Amino acid sequence: MRRQRREAKLNANMNIVPYVDVMFVLLTIFMVTATTISVGIDVDPPQTDSSQAVAVEGDQMMVISVDSEGNFYFNLADEPDQALSEGEILDLAHLLFTENPNIKALVKGDKTAPYGRIIDAMSLLQRVTHQNVQLMTTPFEE
Chain centroid to Cα 140, Å, comes to 27
What is the tally of structural domains in the chain?
A: 1
- Cβ(106)–Cβ(63) under 8 Å? yes
Q: How far apart are CA 129 and CA 110, in angstroms?
A: 23
Is 1 within a domain? no
Nearest to 64 by CA among 34, 90, 38: 90
Is 30 within a domain? no
User: Which phi and psi (to 5°) does residue 49 adopt?
Assistant: -95, 0
Is 115 within a domain? yes
Q: How far apart are CA 18 and CA 24, in angstroms?
A: 10
- Banded pLDDT at 53 (limits 50, 70, 90): low
Is 69 within a domain? yes
Q: Which of 28-37, 51-60, 88-97 has the lowest mean pLDDT?
A: 51-60
* Tens-digit pLDDT profile for residues 34-46: 766 655 556 656 6
Cβ neighbours of 2 (radius 10 Å): 4
Q: Is the dihedral of CA 84, 88, 92, 97 positive or negative?
A: positive
Which CATH number fits the domain that encloses residue 94?
A: 3.30.420.270
Cβ neighbours of 113 (radius 10 Å): 23
Q: Which of 5-9, 52-56, 57-61, 104-108 has the lowest mean pLDDT?
A: 52-56
pTM: 0.60
- Banded pLDDT at 25 (limits 50, 70, 90): very high
The whole domain housing 105 covers 61-137
Instruction: Look over the chain and give the mean of its residue pLDDT values, rounded to a whole number.
Output: 79
For the cut 60, the answer to whether the pLDDT of residue 7 exceeds it is yes
- Note the pLDDT of residue 83: 87
Is 5 within a domain? no
